[in-house]
A and B are shown apart, each in its own frame.
Chain A
Amino acid sequence: DAGVTQSPTHLIKTRGQQVTLRCSPKSGHDTVSWYQQALGQGPQFIFQYYEEEERQRGNFPDRFSGHQFPNYSSELNVNALLLGDSALYLCASTRTAGGANVLTFGAGSRLTVL
């Protein structure tokens, strides 16, 4: 039973570029959330997707956007990259039915912006 898989694991971009990160949720999960974790900090909620729609959003600018596909996989897009966007981006999945709210995290995509 595959857990949450994310790609790429590491990437380097320059300021102003755009990046797309991908996530496949754990088998049986239908809800995907994205978190940003700066070095030495706790994860910060970016947004959550369910039924291909953004269900809730944290305090992140519109440069951060996402998408969920019919197979429940998801993408996180960040436009006009800033140095401060350098972080570990974590995808987490859960199953909404039944009120389950325990997150399974992927290994993350580490983004470095130069």
Chain B
Amino acid sequence: GQQVMQIPQYQHVQEGEDFTTYCNSSTTLSNIQWYKQRPGGHPVFLIQLVKSGEVKKQKRLTFQFGEAKKNSSLHITATQTTDVGTYFCAKYSGGGADGLTFGKGTHLIIQP
């Protein structure tokens, strides 16, 4: 089925370094959502992007939606230990009355 591909699968960074995860789709997306899952926790909604070329910021997090609406990225500036976890992008297959398709996630590991 239609999937979203996330890279990298794992990312080790030193605390204070920046981090970026990328999400790619072979088809045009109506929107893209990002979730964060802490170790042992459950996914928590971060943001939804809808418009082509959209950029949204949440403190140290910057989310982008590509011009062609086929890719998205999440960038974290100056990582902190609280950023540890897995970041998932997710898309809806159809018109809303359906389930989210999640990527496999990028596991962020921070070394103090």
Select A107's contact among B42, B48, B99, beta carbons within 8 Å.
B42
Min CB gap A93→B, angstroms = 12
Q: What is the size, in residues, of chain B's interface with A at 8 Å between Cβ atoms? A: 21
The count of A-to-B residue pairs whose CB atoms sit within 8 angstroms is 55
Pair A42/B105 contact, Cβ less than 8 Å:
yes
**Interface, chain B (partner A; CB < 8 A):** 1, 33, 41-45, 48, 88, 90, 92, 96-105
Select B103's contact among A35, A42, A47, beta carbons within 8 Å.
A42
With A48-B97, A56-B97, A101-B96 as contacts: A43 and B102 at CB distance below 8 Å = yes
Min CB gap A64→B, angstroms = 13
Pair B48/A48 contact, Cβ less than 8 Å:
no
Pair B33/A48 contact, Cβ less than 8 Å:
no
The answer for the CA separation of A50 and B99 in the assembled complex, in Å, is 12
Pair B98/A48 contact, Cβ less than 8 Å:
yes
Q: Closest residue to A108 on the B side, CB-wise?
A: B42
Select A90's contact among B42, B45, B48, B98, beta carbons within 8 Å.
B42
Min CB gap A2→B, angstroms = 15
For residue A48, which residues in chain B have a CB less than 8 angstroms away from its CB? Answer: 97-99
Pair B45/A44 contact, Cβ less than 8 Å:
no
The answer for the CA separation of A101 and B31 in the assembled complex, in Å, is 11
